[in-house]
Amino acid sequence: MGEFVATLLTILKVEDGLNSELSDFIRVRAAIENRELKNDDVVAVFNIQGTTSYQVFFLDDDTTVEEIKEKLKKISVRLNYDSEEVLKRYINARRGKNERC
């Protein structure tokens, strides 16, 4: 069996995600984390290439790319390079950092 790779599909507010085909995936992640859904929460949605599986991660103020990579590693999935770079830029911009990758 080959390695599974996660590709960033989108970053969006929960409110928008709940009004889309991603709704069930967002609700499942919230249930796993025993988390109340708030419309202003932001999630990153990843497609696991070669599957119909999606993984959702909440992007809180303290969320790091390394944390997401570790969670993916636990399910034998690695984050592709381009997705990692986009995620880093998004998180840095959200924190007010202007790092360029």
Q: pLDDT digit string (tens) for 27-70?
A: 999 999 999 999 999 999 999 998 888 999 999 999 999 999 99
3-state DSSP percent of the chain in helix, strand and coil, to 5: 40, 25, 35
DSSP state of 99: -
Q: Are 42 and 59 in contact (CB under 8 A)?
A: yes
pLDDT of residue 101: 42
Tell me the residue range of the domain where 9 lies. Answer: 4-94
Is 44 exposed, middle or buried, given 0-12, 13-18 or 19+ CB atoms closer than 10 A? buried
Looking up residue 13, the CATH number of its domain turns out to be: 3.30.160
Q: What is the count of structural domains for the chain? A: 1
Residue 100 lies in a domain: no
Does residue 98 register a pLDDT over 70? no
pTM of the model: 0.89
